[in-house]
Amino acid sequence: MKAIKVSVAQLTPKLADKQKNLQLISDAMIEAKRDQADLIIFPELFLTGYSVGSELDQLAETEDGPGMTEVRRLCLEQGLYAAISFPEKGEDGHYYISSALIDDNGEVLGIYRKTHLFDQEKMHFTPGSEFKVIETSLGKIGMMICFDVEFPEIARSLKLSGADFIVIVNANMHPYELHHNLFARARALENEIPVIICNRLGKEGDLDFCGDSMVIDATGDILLEMKQTEGVQTVELAIGQQLDPKMSYTTNRRAELYSKIAEQ
């Protein structure tokens, strides 16, 4: 077993203002580094704000775009891993809701594209086509984005692919706060894997984002719960902790009985 320190940045981005949001990212990283964090997580589409549909052509960028290049520089400057979400313009010309994992040298280790789009996201974005487990010096990190957490197959797939913990970037709003709270704990408990879920605050039009970011250990216990508090909070998280061998949900499962789930 080892322990890492993770920071959760439960903040309010300014819609369509990358410069303002980059300043928020910089300030949050400085605070996380002061707390000796190894990894900081930001909410879904934090680089631009969530409701970017009408300005997607102007705001979307690649991993080498100006906004992401600055985030990479900040990771190098602070010596900090970061999970940062942005509207990605793919090499195929499609737009994706993406989450990049950047290491403490400013290198992009991997990008996950949201596979399960919610509501009007489908009007502007293309769903991703694969799950992502990224190998790092902190451990193998499984990536998810918001609505993904409500589908148990994703977290189980990440666990079976060797993930040591799961990072979920979130932009969940009222009246759905119960969903991410309940499902995030369930994904941790049923897969015996820590889950970090970082949600945002603030309003965009009719959307009122509900916060309640959490860090959950492999037994489903909540180590950090931010409720509606704005800011950056840091907690120590055990990776590979000793668990009750009588439970072992992944080894006790009967995969041969579940094939119809995928077929239907």
Catalytic site residues? 44, 114, 146
CA dihedral 171, 126, 163, 235 (to 10 degrees): -20
Strands (E) in the chain, as ranges, are 2-10, 39-41, 81-89, 95-102, 108-113, 132-136, 139-145, 165-169, 195-198, 203-204, 207-208, 214-216, 222-225, 231-239
Tell me if 196 sits within 8 A of 167, measured CB to CB: yes
The string over 213-236, giving b where at least 16 C-beta atoms fall within 10 Å of a residue's C-beta and e elsewhere, is bbbbbbebeeebbbeeeeebbbbe
Residues β-bridged to residue 132: 143
Q: Note if the bond before 175 is cis, omega within 30 degrees.
A: yes
| Pairing mode of beta strands 231-239, 2-10 | antiparallel
Give the rounded distance of the alpha carbon of 19 from its chain centre: 22
Residue 186 has which token pair? 């369930």
What's the CA gap between 248 and 150, in Å, rounded?
22
Residues with Cβ within 8 Å of residue 130, at least 6 apart in sequence: 113, 115
What's the CA gap between 78 and 32, in Å, rounded?
9
What's the CA gap between 10 and 17, in Å, rounded?
18
